[in-house]
Amino acid sequence: MADVNRGNRPLSPHLSIYRPQLTSMTSILTRITGNALLISALLVVWWLLAASTSAEYFALADSALTSIFGKLVMLLSLWGLWYHSLAGLRHLIWDNGIGLGIQTAEKLGWAVIVGSFVLTILTVAIV
């Protein structure tokens, strides 16, 4: 290994000069949904704790989660959950070295986006 110049070389990824791509957008959305689901998970745990505590406390937690704002949060959570699940499934496929070609990866990206909305609508219709 020679003494190479490590100082002034451009660093990857050059996020500021890239045109947004479906692959990069679906990737960052996976991270955003996954981490934002913390809020949803904490709300669910709070709801369960309230249910196990008393009828009064449950009424408070349940009305919070089923208020207009609560319903909006739950709907967004549901979409985030389906999106993250499908994107995670895509990662499990990719981990086997399958579907990494750009065309296939973009098709899978659309499948994740469309699938997340379809599953969200189906869930709302059923539940």
Partner 1 sequence: MRYLTDRKRAAGMGSAKTGTAHFWAMKVSSAALLVLVPIFVFTFGPMLGEPHSEVTAYFARPFPALVAALTVVVSFTHFKDGVQVLIEDYIHGTMQKVLIVAMICLSYVAAATGVFAIARLAL
Q: What is the C-alpha to C-alpha distance for residues 81 and 25, in angstroms, rounded to an integer?
A: 17
Give whole-number Cα distances, 53 to 16, 19, 49, 56, 122, in Å. 50, 52, 6, 9, 32
On whether the CB atoms of residues 40 and 80 are closer than 8 A, the answer is yes
- Residue 4 vs 103, nearer CB to partner 1: 4
Q: What is the C-alpha to C-alpha distance for residues 80 and 99, in angstroms, rounded to an integer?
A: 23
- Residue 13 vs 103, nearer CB to partner 1: 13
- Residue 21 vs 66, nearer CB to partner 1: 66
Nearest distance from C-beta of residue 66 to partner 1, angstroms = 4
Which residues of the shown chain bind partner 1 in the complex (CB under 8 A)? 1, 3, 31, 34-35, 37-38, 41-42, 44-45, 47-49, 51-52, 55, 58-59, 62, 65-66, 74, 78, 81, 85, 88-89, 91-92, 95, 123, 126-127
